[in-house]
Amino acid sequence: DRTLLSRKHSGEGPVVTVGLAYEAQIVSHVPNDERDIRLDWLITEQNVYRFEPV
């Protein structure tokens, strides 16, 4: 997350975050804190999810 945050604020352009998971791993809530970077996309074997910015 520190690397992504550093890149995001470097002025080098947008950072797009993509995660890979199995559909069975998806849960309704994931604990996070101020150091975590939210995913833009999540790809599973069944779906592609796009998350809106907070």
Q: Are 51 and 39 in contact (CB under 8 A)?
A: yes
Q: Residue 7 contacts by C-beta under 8 Å, 6 or more apart in sequence?
A: 15
Residue numbers of the domain that contains 21 = 2-50
Residues 1-54 have pLDDT tens digits of: 788 878 877 888 788 899 999 999 999 999 999 888 889 999 999 999 999 887
How many structural domains comprise the chain?
1
Q: What is the pTM of this model?
A: 0.77
19, β-bridge pairs: 42
The predicted pLDDT at position 5 comes to: 78
